[in-house]
Amino acid sequence: MNRKKIIGIPIKNLENPMSRLSEILTQEERIHTQKELIRNIVQSFKNNDHETYLISTDNEVEILAKNLNVKIFKSNSSGLNKEVIEFSKLFSNYDGWIICHADLPYMTKHFANTISAEINENEIIIAQSKDNGTPFIAGTLSFNKFLFGKNSFNKHIEFLIDKKYAYKQIFSTEFTFELDDEEDYKKFIQNQPRWFRKLNA
């Protein structure tokens, strides 16, 4: 078994990302912001104990993966849920796994390393977004019940309880705050992370 942890970042495409921000950001600005969000997450988790994949069938995402020096997982399935479930077949080759959304703006290397260590002590670690989505889920046991979107968190918890899996919910902003809509963007601009300030320096 590979002693590393495998990290999957699901990305639908880079053609029209962050569509709920289309009233306040141009398409070009949204594409640029999405790419930099992904770059920050990749850099935060980058170390010798992690192997990172971008999960997507999009050619532009494949190019981005090459530029970021990470792997691409191109599924034969359609839809993020099915793509991540197919990706989960790789989990058995690793000590642990992480599925992290591509729109978490406050991720840092410190928090990435801290949560990676916590995974070793838990079967499942899970975070909840404001719309009851699941922006972050990780663990050490075999798992393939992946759901995304509104209320996916509640469905995950129901499944975990039904299977009697031990889980730990995390509440840190780094794993729960998604840059999803205009309200989020206003908060983001008021509390800009370092990587974003550097872009605009």
pLDDT of 1: 59
CA atoms within 13 A on the CB side of 75: 23
Q: What is the mean predicted confidence (pLDDT) over 18-37?
A: 96
Q: Is the pLDDT of residue 191 over 70?
A: yes
Q: What is the pLDDT of residue 200?
A: 78
Predicted confidence at residue 35, as pLDDT, reads: 97
pLDDT at 76: 86
Give the residue-averaged pLDDT of 66-88: 93
Of 137, 190, 176, 189, the residue nearest 33 (C-alpha): 189
Question: Using 50, 70 and 90 to split pLDDT, how confident is the model at 201?
Answer: low
Domain ranges of the chain: 2-191
Q: Which residue has the tokens 């090459």?
A: 66
Could you say which architecture CATH assigns to the domain 2-191?
Answer: Alpha-Beta Complex (3.90)
Would you say residue 130 has pLDDT above 90? yes
Q: Report long-range pairs for 66-72 (Cβ below 8 Å, ≥24 apart).
A: 68/38, 68/39, 68/42, 70/42
Angle at 167 between CA 164 and CA 83, to 5 degrees: 90
Give the phi and the psi of residue 52 in degrees, each rounded to 5.
-105, 135
Share of the chain above pLDDT 70, in %: 99
Mean pLDDT of the chain: 94
Q: Given a cut of 70, is residue 106 above it in pLDDT?
A: yes
Q: Hey, what amino acid is at 201?
A: A
Helix, strand or coil, per DSSP, at residue 46 = coil
Q: How far is CA 141 from CA 67, 98, 108, 121, 174, in A?
A: 31, 11, 25, 11, 23
**pTM (global) more than 0.85:** yes
Asked if residues 103 and 177 have their Cβ atoms less than 8 Å apart, the reply is no
**CA 142 – CA 94 distance, rounded (Å):** 10
Residue 129 burial (C-beta neighbours within 10 Å; 0-12, 13-18, 19+): buried
